[in-house]
Amino acid sequence: MSVQNGRDLLVKVDLTGSGGFETMAGLRATRIGFNAETVDVTSLESQGGWRELLAGAGVKSASISGSGVFRDAATDERARALFFAGEAPRFQVVIPSFGTVEGPFVISAIEYAGTHDGEATYEMTLASAGKLTFTAH
């Protein structure tokens, strides 16, 4: 895989619930993380005293975070509405030369900031709220 442009990592939200995804406006930095908790089944009979983990068990989760410039676009309005309503619509994360992750996410945090001599910025954190799918590119 060759070096990829960071701006090509996109976070998209379904604006209406109809499957029409639109890129979140103003994002400059984006991060996605995946986690799978482990289930320890080590016992006195574990070979050599080594820890044993139960394959396929545990809770899987994903988190998305992003920051950027506040644009007051349709996606900004949708994000605010989703946060205050506590809804979990479908989001897409496009990872360049890798694939697309899609599924329900809850916006768990939104922060707005600004200085007297700069632009208004925002930070947003999303937490997976159901099964995610992955489509390779």
In a domain, 99, yes or no: yes
Is 37 domain-assigned? yes
- pLDDT for res 75: 84
Band (28; pLDDT cuts 50, 70, 90): confident
Q: What was the pLDDT predicted at 71? A: 81
**CATH label of the domain that carries residue 18:** 2.30.110.20
Residue 19 in domain: yes
pTM of the model: 0.84
Residue 98 in domain: yes
Chain segment 88-131, per-residue pLDDT in tens:
999 999 988 889 999 999 999 999 999 899 888 899 999 999 99
Query: With contact defined as beta carbons under 8 Å apart, do 9 and 30 qualify?
Result: yes
Per-residue pLDDT band for 5 (boundaries 50, 70, 90) equals: low
What integer pLDDT is reported at residue 1 of this predicted model? 57
Which range scores top for mean pLDDT: 10-19, 76-85, 128-137? 128-137
Whether the predicted pLDDT of 8 surpasses 90:
no
What is the tens place of the pLDDT at every residue in 47-82? 999 999 999 889 999 999 999 887 878 888 888 899
Instruction: Report helix, strand or coil for 78.
Output: helix
Per-position b or e across 94-113, b if 16+ CB within 10 A of its CB: bbbeeebbbbbbbbeebeee
Q: Let me know if residue 100 belongs to a domain.
A: yes
pLDDT at 4 over 90: no
| 1 within a domain of the structure (yes/no) | no
Domain residues for 116?
Answer: 6-136
What is the reported pLDDT for 15?
A: 83
Q: How far apart are CA 15 and CA 79, in angstroms?
A: 9
CA distance 9 to 111: 21
Query: Total domain count for the chain?
Result: 1
